[in-house]
Amino acid sequence: MEYKNFRFEVDGDGIALIIWDMPDRSMNVFTEEVLRELDKIVDRVASEEGIKGAVLASGKSTFSGGADLTMMQKLVGHYKAERLKDETKATQSLFDNVGQMTGLFRKLETCGKPWVSAINGTCMGGAFEVSLACHGRVAADADFKMALPEVKVGLLPGAGGTQRVPRLTGAQEALQMLTTGQALAPKKAKSMGLVHEVVPAEDLLNTAKAMIRNGLKPVQPWDEKGFKLPSGPVYSAAGANLWPPAAAILRRETQGNYPAATSILKCVYEGLLVPFDTALRIEQRYFTQLLRGTEAQMMIRSLFVSLQELNKGARRPDVPKKEIRKVGIIGAGFMGAGIAFVTAKAGIPVLLIDRDQAAADKGKAHSATLMDGRIKKGRSTAEEKEKLLSLIQPTDAYEGLADCDLVIEAVFEDSNIKKETTRKAESFMRADAIFASNTSTIPITSLAKNASRAGNFVGIHFFSPVDKMLLVEVIRGEETGNEAIAMAMDYVQAIKKTPILVNDTRGFYVNRCVLLYMAEAFNMLIEGVPAAMIENAAKMAGMPVGPLALTDETAIDLAQKIMRQTVRDLGESAVDPRQMQLIDTMVDKHGRFGRKNGKGFYDYPEKPAKKHLWAGLKDLYPQKDPDGVDVTELKQRFLVTIALEAARVMEENIVTDPREADVGSILAFGFAPYTGGALSYIDGMGAKAFVELAAELETRHGPQFKTPQLLLDMAKSGETFYERFDPYGSLKTKAA
């Protein structure tokens, strides 16, 4: 019998070796076809007398990335269409469909013959669940991860993961793993009882087969009479010490914004009270409920489907690819040094230039420090450090730019300094080389006027810290050519970050949104809202960092420079004078620049003491009574002001693809991931409801909540952003 996605062979001992090796994919994933084939294979193993057991292994360098979530999108799409006819019937159909994988894995573990999973590399989601359904699990002793990360896309492990994990390890460890999507190294998985053996990669298959030859029982622990939960009964003294605190901690960590995390807690709790097959039905019920919800649908779309599409170059212009053999970076400060690190880490040689050799050497030393940190955590080696550092050439001379394919300036955020840098660099660069500015707010078109080849001038806007932030904005100026855009995107892809294509404007996309997030916090401070309430409300809304803490991280004096540059360029009316006064007071009167000088909206004492809000904030403005402040409204103000700006950016044709607006808002500044992004936040509640909310906020708090005409039109038509700006229709070719 032939299979498309598997190879099937039986050795002399009667052990079936099933090699999962999808021909059209770089990584194995569960698709409908794979599930059908595996179902037939399970039947074959169970029915053929000569087969004593089976080993499931991968023919690729990794085991599997889990399920293809586009499968889930199709199920949801079918459900939405069918519920218009009969919601009860549509829900039952969805419930039955999501249970197919659960049923298959249960069939595998009860087929009467032993199965062993031989895990050679990354094993995620459904792949880890099928491994948990196997009676034995052997993992290679290598640097890879295993996880059930479904919570990160608004789902729970829906093929038995929420029930098998707490029956193999303690409930507390299971909850930690499941509610966070925690990734496990092989040895950690073994210590938790989720893997039986960790062996050298070359011994993987032999060890797996030996487990079967040595009499591995084809029965799971929970199917044996007298099975006891590793952490004891739910209704016990230990359970009383676990479940109430677990619920409280989850509430504290998620603020109730993530239904999937709450569902996982309920699923594990309820499942451990009943027999295993009943527990699987409970899991199936919660999984169905999540799929019907807005959060999962938006998170799957933005954090899985759209993210993958953008990482694969969905917005890259259709021009030939050019090899990037060497990158020049001008400016070896914190940003430039970070860019040098990620470039060298990608194996690309770097020329790192600064005003003198000492400054350039200091920039290179930043990479050494980052590598030392990775080595200390066991994520890198001394040899890898030396290799990376050998790729960075620090210098104060521009002559080396002659053989660079791409040059990135990361000098101070001052148009005059950037002008001088551009002209000097161009005098040494090849005519076909691309010049990129890492400016955070200054329009690329204005900077390109300093260049003799404006078509080769592009913006590549990194976020701080460069080594950790996953997003990069590629900025198209009025004269920027497609070749420059393509090379910028190829470079971003090479350094393993996600590019979004943004047309030129002051602040581009991300900073326009971020600056309004901070500005609304400044408004609240000026109104007398206690600083702690501001920060906590933002976190309760789903933001990972409060706006005052974020301002400190980016530097308050930088905010001052941006405001002053904006006034110079656009006039005094372009900046709220009350906010300008606040920032001037912080910087000029109190010398509070942010984290970099240990004094900002927060104080930063020496470790081990933790940062805390500066007590002097309460003296800047008369304080409101906290009991009289509506926290729900504070949360809305943060989310709505960002979403409105994202809508304006779409209206102004600055961002033309909603995928980029959503993914960009999450990766760049952590816009409430449970919403699916700034535009999905609007789509999730509907344009009409959003416009009504914005109007209420405008009445109470000012013109920053004025609704753009685009949203008014969408409210009337009932459109969503993904309908009006269809990324799979006309917009697919706009980048070219």
Domains with residue ranges and CATH for the chain: 6-292 (3.90.226.10), 327-507 (3.40.50.720), 511-724 (1.10.1040.50)
3-class SS at 612? strand
Which one-letter amino acid corresponds to residue 634? L
Distance in angstroms (rounded) separating the CA atoms of residues 338 and 468: 9
| Mean pLDDT to the nearest integer, 246-262 | 94
Residue 561 pLDDT level (bands cut at 50, 70, 90): confident
705 has pLDDT over 70? yes
Q: How many helices (H) and strands (E) does the chain have?
A: 31, 18
| Mean pLDDT to the nearest integer, 325-334 | 96
Quick one: tokens of 569?
């360029």
Quick one: tokens of 546?
């409060």
Distance in angstroms (rounded) separating the CA atoms of residues 723 and 556: 39
> For the whole model, what pTM was predicted?
0.90
What percentage of the chain exceeds 70 in pLDDT? 99
Q: What is the largest CA-CA distance in the chain?
A: 85
pLDDT of residue 24: 86
Residue-wise burial string across 65-98, b where 16 or more C-beta atoms lie within 10 A, e elsewhere: bbbbbebbbebbeebeebbeeeeeebbebbbebb
732 has pLDDT over 60? no
pLDDT of residue 541: 96
**654 in Cβ contact with 618 (< 8 Å):** no
Dihedral pair phi/psi, residue 503, rounded to 5°: -80, 160
3-class SS at 304? helix
Residue 572 pLDDT level (bands cut at 50, 70, 90): confident
694 has pLDDT over 80? yes
pLDDT of residue 240: 93
Predicted confidence (pLDDT) per residue in 23-34, tens digit: 989 999 999 999
Quick one: tokens of 481?
């050519």
Long-range CB pairs of 492-495, under 8 A, 24+ apart, other chains included: 492/460, 493/311, 493/313, 494/324, 494/346, 494/348, 495/342, 495/343, 495/345, 495/346, 495/348
First to last CA, the chain: 46
Residue 69 pLDDT level (bands cut at 50, 70, 90): confident
pLDDT of residue 735: 36
pLDDT of residue 569: 83
734 has pLDDT over 70? no
Nearest to 601 by CA among 541, 667, 524, 671: 524
Under the phi-then-psi rule, with left for phi > 0, alpha for psi from -120 to 50, and beta for the rest, what region is 561? alpha
Query: Which candidate in 196, 461, 590, 701 is catalytic?
Result: 461
pLDDT of residue 554: 85
Nearest to 630 by CA among 541, 551, 518: 541
**98 in Cβ contact with 158 (< 8 Å):** yes
Residue 736 pLDDT level (bands cut at 50, 70, 90): very low
Residues written for the chain: 736
Predicted confidence (pLDDT) per residue in 622-675, tens digit: 999 999 999 999 999 999 999 999 999 999 999 999 999 999 999 999 999 999
pLDDT of residue 441: 81
Predicted confidence (pLDDT) per residue in 407-434, tens digit: 999 998 888 999 999 999 999 999 999 9
For all residues of the chain together, what is the average pLDDT?
94
Distance in angstroms (rounded) separating the CA atoms of residues 541 and 536: 9
Which one-letter amino acid corresponds to residue 82? E
Which one-letter amino acid corresponds to residue 399? E
522 has pLDDT over 50? yes
Measured at the alpha carbon of residue 61, what is the angle toward residues 60 and 65, in degrees to the nearest 5?
80
Dihedral pair phi/psi, residue 136, rounded to 5°: -135, 150
Q: How many CB atoms lie within 10 A of CB 449?
A: 13
| Mean pLDDT to the nearest integer, 544-557 | 93
Residue 379 pLDDT level (bands cut at 50, 70, 90): confident
pLDDT of residue 566: 84
Nearest to 299 by CA among 556, 46, 674: 674
Distance in angstroms (rounded) separating the CA atoms of residues 509 and 677: 13
The answer to whether 461 is a known catalytic residue is yes
Quick check: bond before 608 cis, omega within 30? yes
Q: How many CB atoms lie within 10 A of CB 38?
A: 23
pLDDT of residue 731: 41
Which residues make beta-bridge pairs with 351?
Answer: 328, 393
Dihedral pair phi/psi, residue 220, rounded to 5°: -75, 155
CA 90 to chain CA centroid, Å, is 32
